[in-house]
Amino acid sequence: MGKAMHLTGSFHPSQRVLLGPGPSDVPARVLNAMAAPTLGHLDPEYLALMDDTRRQLQTIFRTANELTLAISGTGSAGMEAVVVNLIEPGDEAIVCVNGVFGTRMKDVMERAGATVHAIEVPWGETIPPERVADALRAFPRARVFGIVHAETSTGAHQPLEEISKLVHASGALFLVDAVTSLGGLPLEVDAWGIDACYSGTQKCLSCPPGLAPVTFSPRALARMDARRSKVQSWYLDMTMIRNYWSADRAYHHTAPINMTYALREACAIILEEGLDTRIARHSLNHRALRAGLESIGLHYIPSQSLTTLNAIHAPDGFDEALIRRRLLTEFGIEIGAGLGPFKGRALRIGLMGSSSTRRNVQLVLAALEIILSRSGATSAAASIYAS
Amino acid sequence: MGKAMHLTGSFHPSQRVLLGPGPSDVPARVLNAMAAPTLGHLDPEYLALMDDTRRQLQTIFRTANELTLAISGTGSAGMEAVVVNLIEPGDEAIVCVNGVFGTRMKDVMERAGATVHAIEVPWGETIPPERVADALRAFPRARVFGIVHAETSTGAHQPLEEISKLVHASGALFLVDAVTSLGGLPLEVDAWGIDACYSGTQKCLSCPPGLAPVTFSPRALARMDARRSKVQSWYLDMTMIRNYWSADRAYHHTAPINMTYALREACAIILEEGLDTRIARHSLNHRALRAGLESIGLHYIPSQSLTTLNAIHAPDGFDEALIRRRLLTEFGIEIGAGLGPFKGRALRIGLMGSSSTRRNVQLVLAALEIILSRSGATSAAASIYAS
């Protein structure tokens, strides 16, 4: 085998400003932590780190759930882990669909053998509690109810508390997708009665992608323990993953060691800032961005917007792909495109985790002023910060 | 939410010498590459990196298979990806079982709905071609045949070429677990007629755990294209993952960006060394270690040993857990314990990737001489290097 020199040499990625739907900017502290020497996955130092990480995630999920850990895959692996462990073939489930991720959850549930009843509302809308009450009455045998807290494809912010009460009264488990909310928006796993919740590391936690924090309530554990069939995924089977994260430390698979270093450091940064302070920061920067965008005639898509992701209609008369390309090439700023029915018709600006700063808000507004030949956005944002 | 200071502060893991069954030592070059700024998963620079990585993996797998890429999970996710994409419920399969990973493959196939016929031989043995011929005759409807090239639990090195011919004559697809062989042992995906092969990054590639290189032959692709049912795993569904790795770049899930930086750098190191040179290095260091171990009365478990992993019977009169603990605490060396029937009765010494060095061979032998109060191991190894 000869040397293949064209494949070697170093890779030096550009330093972007990540204002898309994820990943968000990763602090140097987190990148450095990830580059610490690799330990074995059964090394006592690594096992102590896992315990540390579990406690951090419990604090950030606001839960006492013992089964709280990071799945060895990205956010979608977290979705699949929650679904395949809590659904058995033939189960009935209800899932709320108002964007890409509700659609995905329905697909994942069906692949797990569930009969899925969808509550559908137009993309950009949130799910009204009355629709939930109707569905629970219509499908009283539903054992699982799934909903997306922060729909990354539309920017819609779904209220959960009232719906949780309805679901619990029906006896179904309450499953929540918190990929774009954990660490950036209020999310109360215990206080809101969430039975299973998953997220990703690359959004409001500002850690590289590669792990999926999950948490399961005692009710969810009881459901798993009562299963009549094996979980269809060996890799995501929580009964075995629990044994590795528990005092038993039974080998299941080799955990992504260095990714866990990164997650621990990202969580440490969150706990140092304080979760409430962090949530308030996301809210302030969102309000400033929104004031700026609306001042130059841009309109939000969702009726209730996330503070972590801003989905707007692409401005008339402009090629949205060209706007994104100019932001990337002229300013080094990444923002996101529309998906599904919004493909080619939307722009998505994320302000997640470390990316949610006053500096970034003013930067992206200034860049948009130039590209769209409009003015006033940065000063509109400034007035929010001044108030 | 108050500050939780006990969770913060930096984590500084010890610098181990990783001579267990994986992870192996990760070069500083790879750790540094991983800590480069995070890009978006649709950034043109990241897409170019993916193409680069695919070409590197093709070279290392020795294949022209277009569908060659890294799955976003550890080696076991690679196993599951291969199985769930190539098996449909009701399919018959044959799997060879002579250790933990053959047992695991059988479990994963059954969870995918296959009727699995196992060829079982005692742990430590390899599978004789005659047993394969018998099984193919007995189960002519088998659509998939699975085997482990390098059985990490026993150190057995499985010859593949003759078995591949038998399997191909039967019409079944030939699936190979190369977790502990890729990049360290001869492995010829195309020349040996392997239809699907998976590995992990943390063994002979000397990259942190978190990705699973996989490759699929055109025959395997045809089988996927002819499926009558959806792949049960959404996360591992190759039809969608292919679209992201292809020119379409259709969003599926957010790839573990920084892990891919690390994999590219690890592959670059392999290609700079040259695959044949690297394989010869693993062979030489294995022979030296073996000479040393046998000179102090230690016996290999497998009839045909891997060069990448050395599984030996624990010495009589010693507590194997204490040997491992002393190696870790007094010398900073990690080696592995026995699994399954060898639990408490074996030691496993990995010499994989960057860990396979003359320096490490002499170090672990010197440490064992001290712990076991025996002598002659280091000089026996030295004579191999001198010859």
* Of A211, A225, A274, residue with least CA distance to A68: A211
Only one residue has tokens 């000397």, namely B206
Q: Distances from the Cα of A344 to the Cαs of A125, A150, A290, A323, in angstroms?
A: 19, 21, 21, 11
Contact B254 A31 (CB under 8 A): no
What residue ranges of chain B are covered by domains with CATH 3.90.1150.10?
Answer: 275-386
Q: How many residues does chain A have?
A: 387
Alpha-carbon span B331 to B316, nearest angstrom: 22
Contact B80 A10 (CB under 8 A): no
What residue ranges of chain A are covered by domains with CATH 3.90.1150.10?
Answer: 274-386
pLDDT at position B12: 93
Helix axes B44-61, B257-273, angle to 10 degrees: 40
Q: Which of the four CATH numbers 3.90.79.10, 3.60.21.10, 3.40.640.10, 3.90.1150.10 does domain B275-386 have?
A: 3.90.1150.10
Q: Beta strand B212-216 with B196-198: parallel, antiparallel or unpaired?
A: antiparallel
Structure tokens at B217: 């032959």
Q: Which CATH class is domain A28-271?
A: alpha beta
Alpha-carbon span B55 to B187, nearest angstrom: 16
Q: Is A261 on the interface with B (CB under 8 A)?
A: yes
Name the residue among A4, A262, A265 with its Cβ closest to that of B59: A4
The ipTM of this complex is 0.96
Q: Is the pTM of this model over 0.90?
A: yes
Q: Is A231 on the interface with B (CB under 8 A)?
A: yes
Dump pLDDT digits (tens) for B90-121.
999 999 999 999 999 999 999 999 999 999 99
Contact A23 B38 (CB under 8 A): yes
Structure tokens at A73: 């895959």
Q: Is A200 on the interface with B (CB under 8 A)?
A: yes
pLDDT at position A4: 40
Alpha-carbon span A252 to A235, nearest angstrom: 8
Which string of DSSP letters, residue by residue, matches A35-79?
Answer: TSPPPPTT-HHHHHHHHHHHHHHHHHHT---SEEEEESS-HHHHH
**Superfamily per CATH, domain A274-386:** Aspartate Aminotransferase, domain 1 (3.90.1150.10)
Residue to mutate among A3, A5, A8, with most B CBs inside 10 A, is A8
pLDDT tier at B246, thresholds 50, 70, 90:
confident
User: Taking 50 as the threshold, does the pLDDT of residue B2 lie above it?
Assistant: no
* Of B325, B88, B101, B119, residue with least CA distance to B225: B88
What residue ranges of chain A are covered by domains with CATH 3.40.640.10?
Answer: 28-271
Do residues A286 and A303 touch, judged by C-beta distance below 8 A?
Answer: no
Per-residue pLDDT of chain A (387 residues; tens, 9 = 90+): 333 434 457 899 999 999 999 999 999 999 999 999 999 999 999 999 999 999 999 999 999 999 999 999 999 999 999 999 999 999 999 999 999 999 999 999 999 999 999 999 999 999 999 999 999 999 999 999 999 999 999 999 999 999 999 999 999 999 999 999 999 999 999 999 999 999 999 999 999 999 999 999 999 999 999 999 999 999 999 999 998 888 888 888 999 999 999 999 999 999 999 999 999 999 999 999 999 999 999 999 999 999 999 999 999 999 999 999 999 999 999 999 999 999 999 999 999 999 999 999 999 999 999 999 999 999 999 999 998
Contact A11 B49 (CB under 8 A): yes
Residues of A in contact with B26 (CB under 8 A): 37-38, 258
Dump pLDDT digits (tens) for B26-76.
999 999 999 999 999 999 999 999 999 999 999 999 999 999 999 999 999
Q: What are residue B174's DSSP bridge partners?
A: B145
Within a 10 A sphere around the Cβ of B265, how many other Cβ atoms? Answer: 27
